[in-house]
Amino acid sequence: MKIALLGYGKMGQIIERFALERGHEIVLKISIDNREDLTTSNLRKADVAIDFSSPDAAISNIYACFEANLPVVVGTTGWYGQLQEVKNECLSRNNSLLYGSNFSIGVNLFFHINKITARLMNNFPAYEVQVEEIHHTQKLDSPSGTAMTLAEGIIDNLDRKSEWVNELVGTPFEDVVKKEQLLIESHRIENIPGTHTVVYSSEVDEIELKHTAHNRSGFALGAIVAAEWLERKQGFYNVTDMFDFK
């Protein structure tokens, strides 16, 4: 495939390495220094785009891909407040987009285990639950998209939780977490690629489900696999659509 990389920071560079190893070609690299090269004609040189930019740039990048009729894989998070609007635009124009909070195979297995555990916990109301996430200090959004996906997986399957709230540790947090709310506790620590933990606590014991990323390679390789999967498809997809857990 000919790939356009939208966002050429640390993740973009790792994605480039995996893409080349798998026999693909990078025909466009867009960073904060060359935004003027994000043109329809340049995008049309590619077969697919992969976006790991920033929450502020993601929406304009997506619409530029739609204009060029270019399938786009979006690994950037922090723009999901406009998700429905983007979906409507994608479908009305017969474009192709796949988004996800995390493209790691291990994390997607973790998402599945999380949903099953939440379903089981409907039978055991003595357990309180919360989500904890730790990321490097350069991460711009809070909570992480992965933490939100975990929280939504719990809310969809655990009757006693109806919404999540976020506390970024080290910043003022004056909310009282209500019984029906699920707390996502976010930490920002140097050189942590990403650690996510779901904790079920009772008076007598505690259960932890935990995923620890050792580096960013799993995210990058997953993004390339997602691009390969999307290349000849039309529609609006979540990364979970790539995995069949039935």
Nearest CA to 128 among 197, 201, 179, 205?
A: 201
Distance CA 233, CA 122 (A): 38
Q: How does 108-134 read in b/e, with b if 16+ C-beta sit within 10 Å?
A: bebbeebbebbeebeeeeebbbbbbbb
| Residues annotated as part of the active site | 135, 139
Identity of the residue numbered 77: T
Distance CA 73, CA 66 (A): 12
**C-beta of residue 42 within 8 angstroms of C-beta of residue 28:** yes
Is it true that the peptide bond before 71 is cis, omega within 30 degrees of 0?
no
